[in-house]
């Protein structure tokens, strides 16, 4: 079938050409329109709402009638039958989100895996007919300090292909970059070597550009993971990949396209060229790790959830995906290093987090707890040289998903809520007019409602407890921002279902912590420090998290929020071979605890669902 029908997306002005029968979501992907599709196209989340302005499309499906208001269609359910014009509401587009690139730095001795040298060669003559490659190798042996040459014996093929021209255009005086015993880049002197560290989150990408000669971080930037349009969580992406055909490849192309854009942006910020980047370190959860590498993910979606690859891994950037197929544009011979995974749901990002915090240190004796809170929450407990880790499905509620008025931490998202008497005080991201509520805002709201007695332990709303608590058909709701106050047609509310979503999420985390404590034979009070990392972990209010019982009731001062520790860990591994070794030691040392089959998990989870007594914590 030929791609004969056009689909125009307004007001964006993007056009796709598709075959008859393609969905509007497929057309949007082709046109580069980042439509929300949290459920991965199953038609259940209702986030890909669009309005068909003109043209013939398939009639509404059963599933659409349940979730879509009059006049709207779900892009994932609507098939194109003729040339179509579509209006895309702002709310259906993946919003730019607060970049999570800040994190507590730890000092690292600069010792990168790549090294650069300037060399000068004698030009060939009739009396000296050595091949270019031989000439360079022999010059290196003569000119380099003993430690530096370290047995350079191989050429990266892409670097070799550049060598003859680079030599002749630079009067036989060039800069080379080596990794292990391979020459990976040849260039004019004064350029190279830059490094790239990226934390590939399920939702967000955070990237750092580092000068590998000085160790200086030149630029940092964040962006959405473009895979988000294929489903919000890892299970939705695994399901999409498992549909076969080129789907897994699409996911790989999406994330690598995002990496490429981010890399260009970083380089543009500081006037450098992406071709100067000779080494990259990527971290991500096991699913992100596999998808970016092009490894199958089917086995990650089925018990017993084993990864294809756990060890740390090095490959050429061009092997990820050739540039012609949408690969990332680094130096042609650039390598990519991936930190090790621990298990199917505890990935290299958690290893990086352990590396970047004191928790991964081998000499830890006092109990330390580390959490990387996100759609999936990884938890580690270090004590007496042991390192126990588990993963719990905390769900996307903290990212604002599955929450009635939820949204990500984009401008206008309510991120802080306080109830002062009958007044509701709130704060939004960038102080923009309120648009919705992000995870930390919902968490605050639940904590505050519980504090003022408006919620029972099971999350039910107490009618009459607060003037803003209303009765609804679905267990009541709390009026956070009336429509009148925000000059919009609709109130922003927190429903009983929203409260329950937070309960499910926090219970999973708390049960994970309790299982690890049990495995280590510890009581919660013995924990000396709790390190909270990750996107949500950075912005949550620890008091609120304590109030809802997400964490064990410990004094507030034992908690520390460290920002994007995974990104910082990736940067450390970029700058230091010793840090890579330490990451491997960490991955080897971890005792992985599988929660899904743990005998005490369900019992602990059920217990953790309840909201604690308001007096149990002081806020």
User: Helix, strand, or coil here: 264?
Assistant: helix
Q: What is the DSSP letter of 50?
A: E
CA distance 98 to 95: 10
Report residue 149: phi and psi, to 5°. -70, -35
Other CB atoms within 10 A of residue 486 CB: 16
Q: Verify binding: residue 344, a copy of itself, rule CB under 8 A.
A: yes
- Binding part of the chain for a copy of itself, among 43-51, 164-172, 174-182, 546-554 by CB under 8 A, reads 164-172
Q: What DSSP letter does each residue of 470-508 carry, written as one string?
A: E--TTS-EEEEE-HHHHTSSS-EEEEHHHHHHHHHHHHH
Q: Does 309 bind a copy of itself (CB under 8 A)?
A: yes
Q: Which is nearer to a copy of itself, 88 or 392 (CB)?
A: 392
Considering the complex, state which of residue 67 and residue 592 has its C-beta at the smaller distance from a copy of itself.
592
Residue closer to a copy of itself by CB (options 63, 133) is 133
Closest to a copy of itself by CB, 71 or 599:
599
* Token representation of residue 195: 């490094």
Residue placing its CB nearer to a copy of itself in the complex, 325 or 523 = 325
For a copy of itself, which is the closer residue by CB, 40 or 307?
Answer: 307
Classify residue 124 by burial, with Cβ atoms within 10 Å: 0-12, 13-18, 19+: middle
Does residue 132 bind a copy of itself (CB under 8 A)?
yes
Would you say 334 and 277 are in contact if contact means Cβ atoms under 8 Å apart?
yes
| Per CB under 8 A, 161 contacts a copy of itself | yes
Query: Binding marks (x or -) toward a copy of itself, 555..594, rule CB under 8 A?
Result: -------------------------------------x-x
Distance of alpha carbon 310 from the chain centroid? 19
Residue 325 interacts with a copy of itself (CB under 8 A)? yes
CA atoms within 13 A on the CB side of 485: 13
Q: Is 163 in the site for a copy of itself (CB under 8 A)?
A: yes
HSE toward the beta carbon, residue 484, CA cutoff 13 A: 1
What is the x/- site pattern for a copy of itself, positions 250-289, by CB under 8 A?
----------------------------------------
Please identify which residue in 35, 48, 293, 364 interacts with a copy of itself, judged by CB under 8 A: 293
In what order do the strands lie in the sheet containing 194-200? 217-224, 204-211, 194-200, 277-284, 335-338, 313-316
Q: Does 308 bind a copy of itself (CB under 8 A)?
A: yes
Quick one: which of 113, 114, 152, 343 contacts a copy of itself (CB under 8 A)? 343
Task: State which of residues 62, 71, 90, 129 lies at the interface with a copy of itself (CB under 8 A).
Answer: 129
- Residue 168 binds to a copy of itself (criterion: CB under 8 A): yes
The Cα-based distances of 540 to 272, 478, 546 in angstroms read: 36, 20, 11
Separation between Cα atoms, residue 110 and residue 213, nearest integer Å: 8
Cis peptide before 11 (omega within 30 of 0): yes
- Beta-strand (E) ranges in 94-227? 114-120, 154-155, 173-179, 182-188, 194-200, 204-211, 217-224
Question: Which residue lies nearer to a copy of itself by CB, 131 or 270?
Answer: 131
Residue selected from 257, 275, 305, 528 as contacting a copy of itself according to rule CB under 8 A? 305
Give helix 286-293 / helix 234-242 axis angle, nearest 10°.
40
**Rounded to an integer, what distance in angstroms lies between the CA atom of residue 31 and that of residue 13?**
10
Determine the size of the site formed for a copy of itself (CB under 8 A).
43
1 touching a copy of itself, by CB under 8 A: no
Q: How far is the CB of 314 from a copy of itself (least distance, A)?
A: 9
| 336 vs 477 by CB, closer to a copy of itself | 336
Binding segment toward a copy of itself, per CB under 8 A, in 173-181, 208-216, 293-301, 577-585:
293-301
Q: Does 60 bind a copy of itself (CB under 8 A)?
A: no
Assess contact for 351 and 283: CB atoms under 8 A.
yes
- The yes or no reply on residue 160 touching a copy of itself (CB under 8 A) is yes
Taking CB under 8 A as the criterion, the residue among 19, 53, 110, 315 binding a copy of itself is 315
Q: Which of 32, 141, 157, 606 binds a copy of itself (CB under 8 A)?
A: 157
Which window, 99-107, 126-134, 261-269, 554-562, contacts a copy of itself (CB under 8 A)? 126-134
Residues facing 116 on adjacent strands: 177
Could you say whether residue 319 binds a copy of itself (CB under 8 A)? yes
Chosen residue from 294, 361, 475, 482 binding a copy of itself by CB under 8 A: 294
Nearest to a copy of itself of 1, 126 (CB atom): 126
Of 115, 228, 120, the C-alpha closest to 172 is 120
3-state SS of 290-359 is HHHHCCCCHHHCCCCCCCCCCCCEEEEHHHHCCHHHCCCCCCCCCEEEECCCCECCECHHHHHHHHHCHH
Q: Residue 554: CB partners within 8 Å, gap ≥ 6?
A: 524, 525, 527, 530, 546
CB of 296 to a copy of itself, least distance (A): 5
188 binds a copy of itself (CB under 8 A): no
Residues that bind a copy of itself (CB under 8 A): 124-126, 129-134, 155, 157, 160-161, 163-165, 168, 293-296, 298-299, 303-311, 315, 319, 322, 324-325, 341, 343-344, 592, 594, 597
């Amino acid at each position: 079938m030929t791609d004969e029908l056009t689909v125009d997306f307004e007001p964006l002005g993007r056009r796709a050409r598709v075959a008859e029968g393609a969905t509007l979501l497929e057309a949007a992907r082709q046109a580069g329109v980042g439509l929300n599709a949290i459920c991965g196209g199953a038609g259940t989340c209702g986030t890909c709402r669009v309005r068909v302005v003109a043209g013939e499309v398939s009639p509404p499906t059963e599933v659409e009638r349940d979730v879509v208001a009059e006049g709207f269609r779900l892009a994932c359910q609507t098939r194109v039958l003729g040339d179509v014009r579509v209006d895309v509401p702002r709310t259906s587009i993946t919003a730019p989100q607060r970049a999570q690139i800040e994190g507590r730095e730890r000092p690292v001795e600069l010792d990168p895996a790549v090294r650069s040298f300037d060399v000068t060669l004698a030009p060939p003559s009739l009396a000296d007919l050595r091949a270019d490659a031989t000439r360079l190798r022999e010059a290196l042996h003569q000119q380099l300090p003993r430690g530096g040459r370290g047995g350079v014996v191989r050429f990266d093929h892409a670097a070799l292909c550049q060598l003859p021209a680079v030599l002749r255009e630079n009067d036989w005086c060039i800069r080379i970059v080596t990794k292990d015993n391979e020459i990976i880049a040849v260039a004019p002197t004064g350029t190279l070597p830059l490094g790239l560290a990226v934390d590939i989150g399920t939702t967000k990408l955070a990237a750092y550009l580092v000068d590998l000669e000085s160790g200086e971080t030149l630029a940092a930037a964040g962006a959405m993971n473009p895979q988000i349009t294929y489903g919000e969580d890892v299970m939705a992406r695994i399901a999409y990949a498992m549909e076969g055909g080129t789907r897994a490849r699409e996911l790989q192309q999406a994330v690598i396209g995002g990496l490429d854009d981010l890399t260009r942006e970083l380089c543009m910020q500081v006037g450098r060229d992406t071709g100067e980047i000779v080494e990259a370190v990527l971290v991500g959860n096991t699913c992100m790790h596999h998808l970016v590498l092009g490894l199958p993910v089917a086995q990650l979606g089925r018990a017993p959830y084993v990864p294809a690859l756990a060890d740390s891994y090095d490959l050429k950037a061009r092997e990820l995906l050739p540039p012609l197929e949408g690969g990332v544009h680094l130096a042609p011979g650039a390598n990519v290093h991936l930190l090790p995974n621990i298990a199917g749901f505890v990935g290299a990002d958690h290893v990086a987090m352990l590396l970047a915090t004191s928790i991964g240190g081998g000499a830890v004796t006092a109990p330390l707890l580390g959490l990387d809170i996100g759609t999936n929450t990884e938890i580690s407990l270090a004590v007496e040289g042991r390192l126990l880790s588990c993963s719990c499905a905390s769900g996307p509620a903290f990212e604002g998903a599955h929450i009635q008025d939820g949204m990500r931490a984009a401008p206008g998202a309510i991120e802080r809520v306080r109830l002062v008497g009958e007044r509701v005080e709130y704060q939004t991201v960038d102080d923009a007019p309120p648009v919705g509520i992000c995870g930390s805002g919902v968490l605050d709201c639940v904590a505050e409602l519980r504090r003022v007695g408006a919620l029972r332990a099971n999350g039910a709303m107490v009618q009459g407890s607060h003037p803003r608590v209303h009765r609804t058909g679905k267990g009541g709701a709390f009026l956070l921002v009336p429509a009148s106050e925000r000059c919009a047609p609709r109130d922003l509310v927190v429903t009983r279902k929203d409260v329950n979503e937070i309960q499910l999420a926090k219970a999973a985390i708390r049960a994970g912590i309790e299982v690890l404590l049990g495995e280590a034979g510890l009581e919660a009070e013995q924990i000396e420090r709790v390190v909270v990392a990750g996107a949500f972990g950075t912005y949550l209010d620890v008091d609120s998290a304590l109030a809802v019982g997400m964490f064990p009731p410990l004094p507030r001062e034992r908690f520390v929020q460290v920002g994007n520790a995974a990104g910082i860990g990736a940067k450390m591994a970029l700058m230091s071979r010793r840090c890579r070794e330490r990451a491997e030691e960490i991955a080897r040392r971890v005792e992985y605890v599988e929660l899904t089959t743990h005998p005490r998990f369900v019992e602990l989870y059920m217990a953790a669902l309840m909201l604690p007594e308001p007096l149990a914590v002081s806020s």
